[in-house]
Amino acid sequence: MMILNFLRKIFGYFFDSPRPIISIQNLPTLSIVPEKKLVFPIWASQPDGIKSHKQGLPNVGNTCYLNALLQVLSSTPDFVQKLPSNSKICVSLSRVISWVQQKGRLSIFAEIKKLQLYLFQEFRMFNEHSENDPKELYLSLMGLLPDSSDFSIILYKKILCKLCHNFSNLEEPSLFCILKNPSKKEIEEKLKNLEEEKEYKGGNLLYCENCSANREMVMSTFGINIPNIFVFYIGNVLGKRAQGAYNFFYCGDKFELYGVICYYNSGCRHYIAYTLDNAEWMQYNDDHISYSSPDFEHAYMLFYKKT
């Protein structure tokens, strides 16, 4: 357990960290807008000349983070098909995604308000008065799936004590790979590092339960679960951003970029999604849709799928 905690400290967000503990005191309450009072159109109008298979989502108050992520998840069949229907939050997510995919008719404004309430009830951190983060939401929504192995890089590792030769196995699941200054080179290096053998020595020892002391250890990877969906999160908010789209190969599989969430901060935060639709990039800025290549300089999350 101590080893596990130590590893969590080293890798932080790289591995699927526990949800932050949020105080539930003084949180504002949410309200649902009654559907009958709504005048929002059932179908959002699309600008002339736009032939998307999807439609934009209205911002019902600080929901750009939710709208942006749902646009990308609507283009992610692995998520849509695996989403269970055993809770209010999952049913509401399915309804909104169907609407985005132009498959369902409903009062979308009221449905997003409901979803906002269910997210708050389930996770506490997503309340309508906060500026929320699509990365945190992604982590939370993955927890709703009965099986998230399509989305998790799982490293199967062995940690060997160099003194007593006792070893223990460890599974390290991760929903993200963090990039600092995204480039094809950084992506390739990051993937290579996943499997690299690591030595703990000098001032960087690990605790051996067999020796009951800190020892020199070697950690090696003997297996890896390659997910269908590979998500990179760009951790260097103030630094350089991605310069373009990079597809990559990993363990013989080709991964292709199909979704990008961009982050803007000019006083208040704003998130915009881009998805690849029939080989053309579409921009979804809440309910505004346009043909546009991703603004890689503001990329925050990059979504790749195995092709």
Interacting residue ranges for Zn ion, rule: CB under 5 A: 161, 163-164, 166, 208, 210-211, 215
- CB-side neighbour CA atoms (13 Å) of 120: 20
Nearer to Zn ion, 13 or 167 (CB): 167
Q: How far is the CB of 215 from Zn ion (least distance, A)?
A: 5
Nearer to Zn ion, 159 or 273 (CB): 159
Sequence-distant (6+) residues with CB within 8 A of 86 are none
Count other Cβ atoms within 10 Å, centred on residue 237: 9
Amino acid at 120: F
Q: How far is the CB of 217 from Zn ion (least distance, A)?
A: 8
Nearer to Zn ion, 2 or 32 (CB): 2
Nearer to Zn ion, 208 or 289 (CB): 208
Q: How far is the CB of 1 from Zn ion (least distance, A)?
A: 16
Nearer to Zn ion, 7 or 145 (CB): 7
- Cβ(26)–Cβ(191) below 8 Å: no
Q: How far is the CB of 70 from Zn ion (least distance, A)?
A: 49
Nearer to Zn ion, 40 or 207 (CB): 207
Alpha carbon 278 to chain centroid, angstroms: 23
Q: Which two tokens stand for residue 25?
A: 């005191």
- Alpha helices (H) along 249-302: none
- 73, burial (CB in 10 Å: exposed 0-12, middle 13-18, buried 19+): buried
Q: How far is the CB of 6 from Zn ion (least distance, A)?
A: 15
Which stretch of DSSP H or E encloses residue 229? strand 229-234
- Cβ(208)–Cβ(6) below 8 Å: no
- Cβ(24)–Cβ(124) below 8 Å: yes
Which stretch of DSSP H or E encloses residue 98? helix 88-100
Nearer to Zn ion, 10 or 211 (CB): 211
Q: How far apart are CA 272 and CA 304, in angstroms?
A: 17
Nearer to Zn ion, 210 or 293 (CB): 210
Q: How far is the CB of 164 from Zn ion (least distance, A)?
A: 3
Q: How far is the CB of 279 from Zn ion (least distance, A)?
A: 55
- 46, burial (CB in 10 Å: exposed 0-12, middle 13-18, buried 19+): middle
- Cβ(233)–Cβ(301) below 8 Å: yes
Q: How far is the CB of 163 from Zn ion (least distance, A)?
A: 5
